[in-house]
Amino acid sequence: MRVDRRQACLTVMALAAAAPARAAFGFDELMATLAERKSGEARFAEERFVSGLDQTLNYTGTLSFSAPDRLERHTLTPRRESFIVEGNQLTLQRGERVRRLALDSVPELAAMVAAMRGTLSGDASVLRRHFRASVDGRAARWTLTLVPLDQRLLGVVRLLRIDGMQADVRVVELQLADGDRSVTTIEPVAPKARSATP
Amino acid sequence: MTAAAPASRRGWIAVASWLAAMAIGTVVIVQTRFSADLSAFLPAAPDARQRALVEQLKTGIAARTLLIGIRGGDSAERAAASRALAESLRASPEFEQVLNGDFTAFAAVGRWVFEHRYLLSPAVDARRFSAEGLREAIDDTLSLLGTPAGARVKPLLERDPTGEAQRIAENALTSGGPRTQDGIWVSRDGERALLMTQSRAEGSDLDAQAQVLAAVRRAFAAVAAPGLELQLSGAPKFAVDSRAQIQAETKALALAGTVLMGTLLLITFASLRALAAAMLPVASGIVAGVAAVSLVFGSVHGATLGFGTTLIGEAVDYAIYYLIQARGGGTAAAGAAAPGPGWRRWVHESWPTVRLGMLTSICGFLALAFSGFPGLAQLGVFSIAGLVAAGYTTRHVLPVWMPDGTSGLGLRRQLGHGAAVLVRTLPRVRHLFTALGVASLVFLVWRHDTLWQTELSSLSPVSAPDLALDAQLRDELLAGDERTMVAVTGADVQAVLQSVEAVSARLDALVQAGQLVGYDAISRWVPSLVTQQRRRDALPDATTLQANLALATQGGSLNAKRLGPFVQDVQRARQMPPIEPGSLVGTPVATLVSALLVRGADGGSTALLPVVRTPGPAGDGAQAAVEQALHGIAAAQAFNVADELRRLYSHYIREAQGQALLGALGVVLLMAAWLRSLPRLLAVCKPLALAVLLTMAGFAAFGVPLGILHLVGLLLVVAVGSNYSLFLDWLRHQGSGDEDTLASLLLANLTIVLSFGLIAASAIPALAAIGRVVAPGALLALLLSAAYAAPRVQAVPDSA
């Protein structure tokens, strides 16, 4: 009984000690952590689960970001395709064809880009403008959940779940309103390793 | 009439012919068409391309396009107002197209495009429907699934697995358009909702455009929450506003000018009869001017009447000279007592000088009559005819009516004294004037780069704030650069469509290279019959397609069994009748097409391809690149509307400068021929040249660049000022300072300065420009003439 009480006591103390530690890592702390990283490069592998198709759709390629607002996604397999956004300008290339768009003329797209840019640069205001954001976990292993504020976008995108470690984004899961889903795993490429192999 | 003294039959014949001329003039005027569109402010362009451009500006889609902004309130209120306004306008028969970024209203267009996708998609060729082509196309379409864009593609997957609808939409979505928020267009800062309408009525039909504007205002008032503000801009708004403004101002200016001048003359002469006599040459001048313009140009522009009121200034001078000078005796004041000699002496002594002044003015206006701007040419013809009529009336009609001038005294004596004081004192400070003149010349040479305007807008009757609003809305709605265009002309529609397709292929390369964001073309909606046939030929029969599909989807994510609807749609497309412009009437795409294809009066067609260049340095060479790309396609020409207008304007300002110099040279030659003395010629020219220099320097000092209308004003300063310097020179030559003549000069000058002072305050920039030059310029011309050509200083030789 005594022992139990002591154990209970210890458990309570441990919980008490842990609680403030957990509370200390919230949205603002995550943003501060993410803001430290000014640029990054990564490889990605995306798997999409689409109802009505016989198999999942798989894509791989590279991602790069440089603060404040340049984001590139180059799909390498199965077909080359690129998506480059800088400021309000979006450039899409597939095969020979290039398209350029003003990002804010397609609001759904603007919100999705804001989710990525806001997360990668730790820009809280950009995220809050478009999403209800919540954070779980610790700095070493966190999950950021973004739910669209705009009703129109909410009609298409249910939520975005982003998992990461410290300033690295590791998994981006996109859940669409119709139940389809895409999971992108991200493997950072050390900038030094890259610069060492010119 | 008092007496038949002014001789006789000749006098009465002159009066009878004047009456006949006035009667004919009145008949012409009654049948005259008065116009008020903006055409007077657009040059009658010299080459075919510029003519096409000006024609476009007058009657093209731009002339029917209204730009609308909604400000105030919060974004939800603005969005609601935008939707409600668009809905209400779409229901009204006046509008061909109403755009506000809400493309749910274009579901019908989407359905039409989807139905016709195999005739419209640029991707359709034989390879597209081979097993390999199908596999690639299906992969591309599937790559959108599982992303937010997939929501649009997924429901159509079974009918359109190759993504032709997507492909067509991508092409149509060129510039990306304005910012979209809450499903409607807003400005980049989000503070303004944006709409764009095209009226069914022609841009030149100003009554209809006025109704369109009223309809928009009415609809807005009915739907908008309180606190919201409607902003309207665009060519129809400008045209309707200018017309109203020109009409209102012309009336107000004419009325104010008449009242002002009447008061001045009444105070001076203290005689109603003299007032009536003074107005007679003015009225005759206006009748002759309007009739002449009507006969030469076929119609009279409202603005011409506005400018024409400036004529009152000079025509009334003639009457003033006559009324005062015919009465006073050159040396003996008693001369007035004897009836008869007054008008005879005037005709003998003063008329040659007045006539010379009139001829110099005509010389100046002759330059305008040959201007490339219809508005200015009309003004030139109006002024010449008006001056001749006013001169004729003064010379031949006034002597019959008032052979001894006016007997009224009023303030004439005081005026005479005042003028005498001026003539005595001013010559003492003439070195100061000379120094000022030299300083002005130096200043003008120093500032010669910024002296002249290069913008056509300076001629436009639209005010600066309105232009600024227009620029803002245009920038937001049309990405700022919709004004680069390619025009493709041809004898028949199919020829034009084929040329447009050739041009499109070359523009596509520029889009790929990043120099252009995109462009729009009629062939996206109406491909040429040749192209449609080629696409149709590329569509395989059901059996072949099913076989190819089976191969293409083998091992893939999409099961070929789901694609039955696709096979059916392809089979249907093979039977579909071709799309032709004529067959579009009543379909939802008719409005899209009407903006891109214009039928000429001669049966030919012109297709317009608005081109959007890439913002920033990437698009810098776009214009040259487009021109280069069109090389070899004879039917196509590229132009940038703004550049082209600027080029036109600088061409015309150079032309006007040349004409003004020719006019000035003509004035000098005329005076030289009359005076036959170099020192006298210099004495007469010097004050005029100085007046022009000082006025120009004044504008430069205030940082106001000079435009064509300022140049017209300077011409008027020379024309009017030459009267003063000639009269003063004549007096000096006679060796006597006749106070009555001096009084008439001062009074004439006062009327000019006052009437042009009125015009200077006009809200129509073009009118104000003339007034602001002539009012100070004419005053300077008189003062300087008094300083340099006054009788007292006759002995002093002029310095070079």
pLDDT per position as a tens digit, B50-60: 666 666 666 66
Question: Within an 8 Å CB–CB cutoff, is residue A82 touching chain B?
Answer: no
* pLDDT computed for residue B2 by the predictor: 40
When pLDDT is averaged across residues B746-770 and rounded to a whole number, the result is: 84
- What are the φ and ψ backbone dihedral angles of B99, each rounded to 5 degrees? -115, 130
Higher pLDDT: B607 or A72? It is A72
* pLDDT computed for residue B309 by the predictor: 65
Q: Answer positive or negative: Cα dihedral of B726, B728, B734, B739.
A: positive
Q: Is B410 domain-assigned?
A: yes
Contact partners, residue B579, CB within 8 Å, separation at least 6: B116, B119, B120, B525, B526, B527, B532
> Taking CB atoms and an 8 Å cut-off, how many pairs form between chains A and B?
95
SS3 B506: helix
Q: Which residues of A touch B179 (CB under 8 A)?
A: 102, 104-105
Helix (H) or strand (E) segment spanning residue B689: helix B678-701
Contact partners, residue B255, CB within 8 Å, separation at least 6: none
User: Residue A50 and residue B614: Cβ atoms within 8 Å?
Assistant: no
SS3 B72: coil
SS3 B287: helix
- Considering A10-19, B115-124, B408-417, the range whose residues carry the highest mean pLDDT is B115-124
- What are the φ and ψ backbone dihedral angles of B518, each rounded to 5 degrees? 170, -170
* pLDDT computed for residue A198 by the predictor: 37
**pLDDT above 90 (res B728):** no
- The answer to whether B719 and B365 have CB atoms below 8 angstroms apart is yes
Give the type of residue at B573.
Answer: A
SS3 B785: helix
Give the closest-approach CA distance of B178 to chain A in angstroms: 6
In angstroms, the CA B299 to CA B328 distance is 44
Q: Is B102 domain-assigned?
A: no
In angstroms, the CA B342 to CA B398 distance is 12
When pLDDT is averaged across residues B460-474 and rounded to a whole number, the result is: 75
Helix axes B235-269, B412-425, angle to 10 degrees: 100
Question: Within an 8 Å CB–CB cutoff, is residue B151 touching chain A?
Answer: yes
DSSP state at residue B228: -
User: Residue A57 and residue B177: Cβ atoms within 8 Å?
Assistant: no
Question: 103-122 in A: which are within 8 Å (CB) of B?
Answer: 103-109, 112
Give the closest-approach CA distance of A118 to chain B in angstroms: 18
Residue carrying the six token digits 């409005």: B591
In angstroms, the CA A129 to CA B677 distance is 84
SS3 A49: strand
Give the closest-approach CA distance of A60 to chain B in angstroms: 12
Question: 163-222 in B: which are within 8 Å (CB) of A?
Answer: 170, 173, 175-183, 188
Question: 474-493 in B: which are within 8 Å (CB) of A?
Answer: 479
Question: Within an 8 Å CB–CB cutoff, is residue B148 touching chain A?
Answer: yes
SS3 A6: helix
Question: Within an 8 Å CB–CB cutoff, is residue A41 touching chain B?
Answer: no
* pLDDT computed for residue A196 by the predictor: 37
When pLDDT is averaged across residues A41-70 and rounded to a whole number, the result is: 93
Question: Within an 8 Å CB–CB cutoff, is residue A87 touching chain B?
Answer: no
Nearest CA to B546 out of B129, B197, B150, B154 is that of B129
- What are the φ and ψ backbone dihedral angles of B715, each rounded to 5 degrees? -60, -40
**pLDDT above 50 (res B671):** yes
Give the type of residue at B135.
Answer: R
User: Residue A54 and residue B176: Cβ atoms within 8 Å?
Assistant: no
Question: Within an 8 Å CB–CB cutoff, is residue A152 touching chain B?
Answer: yes
User: Residue A105 and residue B179: Cβ atoms within 8 Å?
Assistant: yes
- The answer to whether B195 and B82 have CB atoms below 8 angstroms apart is yes
Name the least confident of A15-29, B131-145, B455-469, B707-721. A15-29
* pLDDT computed for residue B659 by the predictor: 82
Domain containing B346 equals 12-37+239-460+645-793
Give the closest-approach CA distance of A71 to chain B in angstroms: 17
The fraction of chain B above a pLDDT of 70, given in percent, is 86
**What count of Cα atoms within 13 Å lies in the side-chain half-sphere of residue B435?**
4
Residue B32: band (very low, low, confident or very high) from pLDDT cuts 50, 70, 90: confident
* pLDDT computed for residue B502 by the predictor: 95
Q: Which of A97, A103, A184 is best to mutate for the B interface (most B CBs within 10 A)?
A: A97
**Mean pLDDT, rounded, of chain B:** 83
User: Residue B514 and residue A100: Cβ atoms within 8 Å?
Assistant: yes
- The answer to whether A147 and A115 have CB atoms below 8 angstroms apart is no
Q: Is B213 domain-assigned?
A: no
Question: Within an 8 Å CB–CB cutoff, is residue B142 touching chain A?
Answer: yes
Question: Within an 8 Å CB–CB cutoff, is residue A78 touching chain B?
Answer: yes
B357-376: pLDDT as tens digits: 888 888 878 877 887 777 77
Helix axes B341-349, B351-369, angle to 10 degrees: 50
When pLDDT is averaged across residues B633-643 and rounded to a whole number, the result is: 78
**What count of Cα atoms within 13 Å lies in the side-chain half-sphere of residue B618?**
14
Tokens coding A114: 């804001």
Q: Which residues of A touch B558 (CB under 8 A)?
A: 53-54
User: Residue A79 and residue B150: Cβ atoms within 8 Å?
Assistant: no
User: Residue B146 and residue A96: Cβ atoms within 8 Å?
Assistant: no
In angstroms, the CA B709 to CA B715 distance is 10
Helix (H) or strand (E) segment spanning residue B743: helix B739-760
Helix (H) or strand (E) segment spanning residue B236: helix B235-269
- Considering A166-180, B106-120, B157-171, B302-316, the range whose residues carry the highest mean pLDDT is A166-180
Higher pLDDT: B8 or B749? It is B749
Would you give the end-to-end CA distance of chain A in angstroms? 67
* pLDDT computed for residue B42 by the predictor: 63
Bridge partners of B606, per DSSP, are: B489, B598
Q: Which of B83, B517, B557 is best to mutate for the A interface (most A CBs within 10 A)?
A: B557
Higher pLDDT: B477 or B150? It is B150
B113-138: pLDDT as tens digits: 999 999 999 999 999 999 999 999 99
Q: In this structure, are strands B34-35 and B300-301 parallel, antiparallel, or unpaired?
A: parallel
Tokens coding A198: 């010119």
Q: Is B480 domain-assigned?
A: no
* pLDDT computed for residue A130 by the predictor: 92
Question: Within an 8 Å CB–CB cutoff, is residue B582 touching chain A?
Answer: no
What are the distances in angstroms from CA B779 to CA B353, B355, B425, B700, B762? 20, 21, 16, 18, 19
What are the distances in angstroms from CA B39 to CA B43, B378, B390, B483, B495? 8, 12, 29, 19, 31
When pLDDT is averaged across residues B32-48 and rounded to a whole number, the result is: 65
Would you give the end-to-end CA distance of chain B in angstroms? 52
In angstroms, the CA B176 to CA B167 distance is 15
In angstroms, the CA B584 to CA B597 distance is 13
Question: Within an 8 Å CB–CB cutoff, is residue A81 touching chain B?
Answer: yes
Chain A: residue nearest B614 by CA? Answer: A100
Nearest CA to B537 out of B529, B549, B546 is that of B529
DSSP string, B161-176: TT-HHHHHHHHH--S-
Name the least confident of A165-174, B243-252, B322-331, B626-635. B322-331
User: Residue B176 and residue A105: Cβ atoms within 8 Å?
Assistant: yes
In angstroms, the CA B600 to CA B590 distance is 18
Name the least confident of A3-7, B18-22, B344-348, B371-375. A3-7
**pLDDT above 70 (res B46):** no
B142-192: pLDDT as tens digits: 999 988 888 888 999 999 999 999 888 877 755 456 788 888 888 888 899
Name the least confident of B162-171, B313-322, B588-597. B588-597
Q: Answer positive or negative: Cα dihedral of B154, B156, B157, B162.
A: negative
Residue B403: band (very low, low, confident or very high) from pLDDT cuts 50, 70, 90: confident
SS3 B189: coil
- Count CB neighbours of B202 within 10 A: 15
In angstroms, the CA A164 to CA A34 distance is 10
DSSP state at residue B452: B
* pLDDT computed for residue A68 by the predictor: 83
Residue A38: band (very low, low, confident or very high) from pLDDT cuts 50, 70, 90: confident
Residue carrying the six token digits 């084929």: B498
* pLDDT computed for residue B176 by the predictor: 53
Domains identified in chain B, total number: 1
Indicate the CATH number for domain A25-196. 2.50.20.10
In angstroms, the CA B187 to CA B193 distance is 6
**pLDDT above 60 (res A116):** yes
When pLDDT is averaged across residues A8-26 and rounded to a whole number, the result is: 54
**Mean pLDDT, rounded, of chain A:** 84
Chain A: residue nearest B151 by CA? Answer: A156
Bridge partners of A184, per DSSP, are: A46, A172
Q: Is B123 domain-assigned?
A: no
* pLDDT computed for residue B794 by the predictor: 37
Helix/strand number for chain B, H first, E second: 30, 13
